[in-house]
Amino acid sequence: MCDQDHFEDDVKDYTERGMVTRRQFGTMAAGAGLMAILPAVVNAQAVAEEEVNIKTPDGVCDAYFVHPSSGQHPAVIIWPDIAGLRPAKRQMGKRLAQLGYSVLVVNPFYRTAKAPLPGADFNEMMKGGFAAVKALNATTHVTDARAFVAWLDTQANVSKTRGMGTMGYCMGGPMVVRTAGASDRIRGAATFHSGALVTQAADSPHLVIPNSKAAFLIATAENDDKQRPMEKDQLKELFAKSKLTAEVDVYAAAHGWCPPDSPVYNEKEAERAWSRMLAIFGKALA
């Protein structure tokens, strides 16, 4: 699958070119205790959090659901990167909930195993992650997305009169785009250091953009832009033709810069991307 191939290329780029060692990448998968603490939310809302199970056409997805303790709020679906649903993603989801969103962080690998991915080091995590990714494709992205949207609309803490958002990292980027193309409920979409969004495949993620009603943020890493320098221009042109609001930008950071457990975590650029997402969600989900 192209998303898997892209991630393998990223890992090779990091490790062989000396950007980060395999041992450092292992820290990303193994060490919740070593992950950075995200900046605190000013005037954070009290939240409630729970582990949930969601029926899909292919089984039952385990997920983390966190939302403000009272009231109805716009929902956001978070698609993790190759390391899957783990403490860092829960931390990111909880932070978003403290800002007034009902957030569902899914385990994209539920067909293979419950979260978190097995393994104590990077090599073991990669084996589990790549094996699990093989069970995913453009069709499963869409069927999962529709199941998650439908489940969220049954929750008392989710506003049915406001739009939903979706956000994703690395391999989660194509999932975000396909989610936005699969449901009119999605009105805001953000990808961070995404896997390839424009490919030559018949099911390339970018082909569903004209079906979407969402406003987009495409936050691209410098090294991803070097690998695919034309992608940003192709996306800008497609968004313009589709008459969709979109912000496509290259960030001064390496692929993987947003999650706080990443060995290339860049707080300054991660916060800039986060603030741009909040600005887009604030308007699009109103």
- Checking if the pLDDT of 9 tops 80, the result is no
Q: Map tokens 């989660």 to a residue.
A: 172
Name the percent of the chain lying above pLDDT 90: 77
Name the percent of the chain lying above pLDDT 70: 85
- Checking if the pLDDT of 85 tops 70, the result is yes
Q: What is the DSSP string of 121-174?
A: SHHHHHHHHHHHHTT--HHHHHHHHHHHHHHHTT-TTB-SSS-EEEEEETTHHH
- Checking if the pLDDT of 26 tops 90, the result is no
Closest by CA position to 166, among listed 197, 144, 191: 191
Mean pLDDT of 29-47: 76
Tell me: the pLDDT tens digits for 141-176?
A: 999 999 999 999 999 999 999 999 999 999 999 999
Choose the CATH number for 2-18+46-284 among 3.40.50.1820, 3.90.600.10, 3.40.47.10, 3.40.50.300.
3.40.50.1820
Query: What is the pLDDT at residue 24?
Result: 41
Query: What is the pLDDT at residue 14?
Result: 39
**Model confidence band, residue 119 (pLDDT cutoffs 50, 70, 90):** low
Closest by CA position to 52, among listed 147, 161, 170: 147
Tell me: the pLDDT tens digits for 235-265?
A: 999 999 999 999 999 999 999 999 998 889 9
Domain ranges of the chain: 2-18+46-284
- Checking if the pLDDT of 29 tops 60, the result is no
Query: What is the pLDDT at residue 8?
Result: 47
**Model confidence band, residue 234 (pLDDT cutoffs 50, 70, 90):** very high
**Model confidence band, residue 229 (pLDDT cutoffs 50, 70, 90):** very high
